[in-house]
Amino acid sequence: MMSAAHNPSDMRHDWTVEEVASLLNMPFNDLLFRAQTVHRENFDPNAVQVSTLLSIKTGACPEDCAYCPQSARYDTKLEKEKLMEVEAVIEKAKAAKAAGSDRFCMGAAWRSPRAKDMPYVLAMVKGVKEIGLETCMTLGMLDDEKADALAEAGLDYYNHNLDTSPEYYGDIITTRTYSDRLNTLANVRNAGMKVCSGGILGMGESQKDRAGLLVQLANLPAHPDSVPINQLVKVEGTPLESEGDLDPLDFIRTIAVARIMMPKSHVRLSAGREEMSEEMQAMCFFAGANSIFYGECLLTTPNPAANKDQDLFRKLGINSDHHVTKAPRELDEILAQPMASDAMFYDASAQAAQ
Ligand code: SF4
């Protein structure tokens, strides 16, 4: 039987690691039933929010996140790219909208955006807003001034992940601290933007670390509006390339506990979906995941093609009232197109290590 210490729909900010570890250890069926109950109290159980993620500046990042192929410190054979030209970003956003995306997320591999990047980034936010999409960005650390500027330009969401527990964090990243991350989240919140923050599973962390990550997220002053839960994609050349596999049931359990702890947040199935079977993804949706990224590339790692996602949604009866005005194949093609001309870029990556 499920523990009834708290009403399933309580919005709590006082979780303890022990309490969350005991949720993670519940009998699987009880845990999924409880998570699905909370999910139905707060969301349409057959609706999944769809976002498209575009890398607006790839590679050459000075940070040392052990999982990341974009770090300049690891030889991952990734082609570094310059910051995309504003018009090109807007074209991709139009394609994503036509293919049924609700939100357009733009990611840049920076420690933090520099003052000279800001006019371009702000123009992207305004342009994507104008075509009627929600906007999200992930650009690294933000001080209060840059957070305010993005909010003023109309940015809806800012993504900044906590990645793992405070205890395990030092094994994964040394170039910024956990409190740097919490400060960025505070600046985003104070600027009035919605927070998107989650973590990565399968990096060799313990179950206690997974509990610790969820406690950090749920005990923020407000639950993040979006909680991406990623499964490590092991990229050759990164320090985590040979990490052991995470038990898929532990991944699903973590999704279920995130749903219980943050009942009104969108829990997003993010990186690693390419390696998940349809059955596993279906279990994740049942456990309370209700958001995905759509499109072939999730920053620099493969993501199931949009038409494969549409097939899965059809089989599961998800978003059956969601109208798509262009074939998903067309989205794949447009998102995969190289940019028209090198002159459309300016080279942000060359100065990234400053
Ligand atoms: S800051 Fe972002 S882009 Fe840079 S290494 Fe870390 S995860 Fe990768």
Query: What does 78-146 look like in DSSP terms, one character per residue?
Result: PPP-PBPPHHHHHHHHHHHHHTT-SEEEEEE--SS--GGGHHHHHHHHHHHHHTT-EEEEE-S---HHH
% of the chain beyond a pLDDT of 90: 57
Tokens of 155: 């940015």
Q: 197, 188, 194: which is closest to 145 by C-alpha?
A: 188
- Residue 15: per-residue pLDDT: 96
Annotation says 284 is catalytic: no
Cα separation values, 22 from 16, 133, 184, 217, 322, Å:
10, 40, 30, 17, 38
Of ligand 1's listed atoms, the one at least distance from the Cα of 108 is 3
Banded model confidence at residue 354, pLDDT cuts 50, 70, 90: very low
Q: Minimal CA–CA distance to 208: which of 245, 254, 172?
A: 254
297 is catalytic: no
Which of the listed residues 57, 64, 71 should we mutate to test ligand 1's pocket, taking the one with most ligand atoms within 8 A of CB?
71
Give the integer Cα–Cα distance in Å for 15 and 6. Answer: 11
pLDDT at 33: 97
Query: How confident is the model at residue 350, as a pLDDT?
Result: 30
pLDDT at residue 345 above 70?
no
Ligand 1 centre from 140 Cα, in Å?
A: 8
What are the residue boundaries of the structural domains of the chain, listed by start? 17-316+328-351
The finding on whether 140 has its CB within 6 A of some atom of ligand 1 is: yes
Which protein residue has the closest C-alpha to ligand 1 atom 5?
71
Q: Among 12, 34, 40, 65, which one carries the catalytic annotation?
A: 65
Note the pLDDT of residue 75: 80
Q: What is the average pLDDT across 245-260?
A: 97
Catalytic residue among 68, 176, 273, 284: 68
Among 57, 70, 106, 176, residue to substitute to test ligand 1 (most atoms within 8 Å of Cβ): 70
Cβ–Cβ contacts within 10 Å for residue 40, how many?
12
Residue 209 has pLDDT above 80, yes or no: yes
Q: Which CATH number fits domain 17-316+328-351: 3.90.25.10, 3.20.20.140, 3.20.20.70, 3.90.1720.10?
A: 3.20.20.70
pLDDT per residue over 150-164, tens digit each? Answer: 999 999 999 999 999
Per-residue model confidence (pLDDT) at position 165: 97
Centroid of chain to Cα 78: 20
The residue to which tokens 């740097």 are assigned: 180
pTM for the full model? 0.83
Question: Residues 34, 103, 136, 253: which is the catalytic one?
Answer: 136
